[in-house]
């Protein structure tokens, strides 16, 4: 139902002040009424015109009637610009009070404008990144030469160091110290090295029952077969190891180094070293390629490489902290130089490119052993130059 417009909102009206009149900014013509609810009439006002040359922005309507996060479009007159969501004026008790209603759904015209702006932004982004895209194309246009990888990374990738890990069985008392071998593998992996594992195909000196610390008289085991447990089956005979195919070699400790790779556990300074172990040490030394050894394994280098500098930790037991301190005197008797180092340290003989660390020659927490082995591996990889 339509009626003529009143002289002012709320004056000369039959509607109750509690119901009120609402001034709408919708498309109805000026001076028209419609019911907004029981006992209320809706008056529609002429919409406020937007700036003629610029579209309105989108704003956030707050509960207090303000439009947040929106500024007038650049170049638009500030006084003539208003929030695109028009307020509804509610006349109550003869006075108009502004309230805000839920924003209208986005119109097709707004969606079209947003799509056009998005397309324009994407086209500009594509134009700005065109030179980079040209470098990344797998098949460059005819007449163009593809740029090397160094153009993207700043420097060419360095090849991984190839490291040979030589084991002596599986188990601290008759083979490789497993924690040391695992720590070496972890640090080599973190350093990006390629690792190949080797062990001599020979019988163990004896087999130790690790629950009792006593030999199992009736049992025999093979060093290569036992070492394969640590290598997860990926292992080769030490006889096939050549320094020409690797950049470094590392020997973990464990009594296997003194029982299976040599006879040091029995003969001391008069020990003999396994033939392939001696050959490998001499090949890497002659090729100026680094060798790392930890725990008791430095005695191998001391026996084969005359005058080499190594460490097995401290030279005094210090109340049981260094229970194998006497090994230092045996190393000196072999003609090598012993250097005192802490468990978390590594000694580097730059002249011979031999790196050693005490590891389990010290009675200490496992993480200190791990840190010392990490220092040894780091220096070995640095000496490879890769």
DSSP conformation letters of 233-286: T--EEGGG--GGG-SEEEE--STHHHHTSBSHHHHGGG--B-HHHHHHHHHHHH
3-state secondary structure (DSSP) of residue 151: helix
Q: Are 22 and 36 in contact (CB under 8 A)?
A: yes
- Percent of the chain scoring above 90 in pLDDT: 58
pLDDT surpassing 60 at residue 376: yes
pLDDT surpassing 50 at residue 325: yes
Mean pLDDT of 116-133: 64
pLDDT surpassing 90 at residue 340: yes
pLDDT surpassing 50 at residue 188: yes
pLDDT of 29 reads 47
The DSSP output letter for 337 is E
* pLDDT tier, 103 (very low <50, low <70, confident <90, very high otherwise): low
Dihedral, CA of residue 266, residue 270, residue 276 and residue 278, to nearest 10:
140
Mean pLDDT of 263-280: 97
pLDDT of 102 reads 53
Q: CB under 8 Å to 380, separation ≥6 — which residues? A: 163, 248, 250, 290, 291, 292, 355
User: What region does 112 belong to: left with phi over 0, alpha with psi -120 to 50, or beta?
Assistant: alpha
List, by residue number, the catalytic residues: 295
pLDDT of 12 reads 45
pLDDT of 104 reads 56
Element (H, E) at 97: strand 95-99
Q: CB under 8 Å to 223, separation ≥6 — which residues? A: 167, 168, 169, 175, 199, 200, 201, 202, 203, 204, 256, 260
pLDDT of 274 reads 98
pLDDT of 83 reads 47
* pLDDT tier, 209 (very low <50, low <70, confident <90, very high otherwise): very high
Rounded Cα distance, 206 and 216, in Å: 8
pLDDT surpassing 60 at residue 170: yes
pLDDT of 352 reads 98
- Percent of the chain scoring above 70 in pLDDT: 62
Mean pLDDT of 131-153: 48
pLDDT of 241 reads 98
CB atoms closer than 10 angstroms to residue 127:
8
pLDDT per residue as tens digits for the range 12-36: 444 444 444 444 444 444 444 444 4
pLDDT of 293 reads 98
pLDDT surpassing 50 at residue 79: no
* pLDDT tier, 260 (very low <50, low <70, confident <90, very high otherwise): very high
Global pTM reads 0.62
Mean pLDDT of 158-179: 96
* pLDDT tier, 86 (very low <50, low <70, confident <90, very high otherwise): very low
* pLDDT tier, 108 (very low <50, low <70, confident <90, very high otherwise): confident
* Average pLDDT of every residue of the chain: 78
Among 48-52, 123-127, 133-137, 329-333, the range with the most confident prediction by mean pLDDT is 329-333
pLDDT of 120 reads 72
Q: CA-CA distances (angstroms) from residue 384 to 105, 180, 195, 293, 351?
A: 68, 21, 14, 15, 14
pLDDT of 126 reads 64
pLDDT surpassing 90 at residue 2: no
Q: CB under 8 Å to 102, separation ≥6 — which residues? A: none
């Amino acid at each position: 139902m339509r009626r003529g417009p009143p002289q002012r909102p709320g004056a000369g009206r039959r509607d109750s002040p509690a119901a009120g009149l609402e001034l709408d900014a919708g498309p109805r013509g000026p001076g028209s009424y419609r019911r907004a609810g029981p006992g209320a009439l809706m008056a529609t006002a002429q919409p406020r015109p937007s700036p003629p040359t610029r579209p309105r922005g989108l704003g956030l309507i707050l509960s207090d009637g303000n439009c947040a996060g929106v500024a007038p479009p650049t170049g638009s007159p500030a006084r003539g610009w208003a929030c695109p969501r028009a307020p509804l004026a509610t006349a109550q008790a003869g006075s108009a009070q502004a309230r805000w209603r839920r924003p209208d759904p986005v119109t097709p015209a707004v969606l079209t404008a947003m799509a056009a702006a998005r397309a324009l932004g994407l086209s500009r982004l594509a134009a700005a990144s065109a030179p980079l895209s040209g470098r990344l194309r797998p098949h460059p246009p005819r007449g163009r030469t593809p740029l090397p990888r160094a153009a993207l990374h700043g420097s060419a990738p360095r090849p991984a160091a190839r490291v040979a890990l030589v084991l002596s069985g599986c188990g601290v008392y008759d083979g490789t110290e497993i924690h040391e071998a695992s720590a070496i593998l972890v640090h080599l992996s973190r350093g990006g090295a390629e690792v190949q594992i080797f062990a001599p195909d020979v019988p163990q000196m004896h087999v130790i029952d690790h629950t009792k610390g006593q030999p199992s008289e009736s049992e025999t085991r093979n060093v290569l077969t036992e070492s394969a447990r640590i290598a997860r089956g990926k292992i080769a005979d030490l006889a096939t190891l050549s320094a020409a195919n690797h950049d470094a070699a590392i020997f973990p400790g464990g009594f296997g180094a003194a029982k299976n790779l040599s006879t040091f556990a029995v003969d001391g300074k008069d020990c003999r070293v396994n033939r392939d172990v001696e050959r490998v040490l001499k090949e890497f030394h002659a090729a100026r390629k680094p060798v790392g050894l930890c725990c008791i394994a430095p005695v191998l280098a001391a026996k084969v490489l005359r005058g080499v500098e190594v460490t097995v930790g401290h030279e005094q037991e210090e109340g049981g902290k260094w229970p194998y301190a006497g090994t230092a005197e045996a190393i000196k008797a072999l003609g090598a130089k012993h250097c005192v180092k802490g468990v978390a340290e590594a000694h580097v003989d730059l002249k011979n490119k031999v790196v050693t660390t005490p590891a389990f020659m010290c009675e200490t927490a496992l993480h200190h052993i791990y840190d010392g082995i990490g220092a040894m591996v780091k220096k070995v990889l640095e000496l490879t130059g890769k």
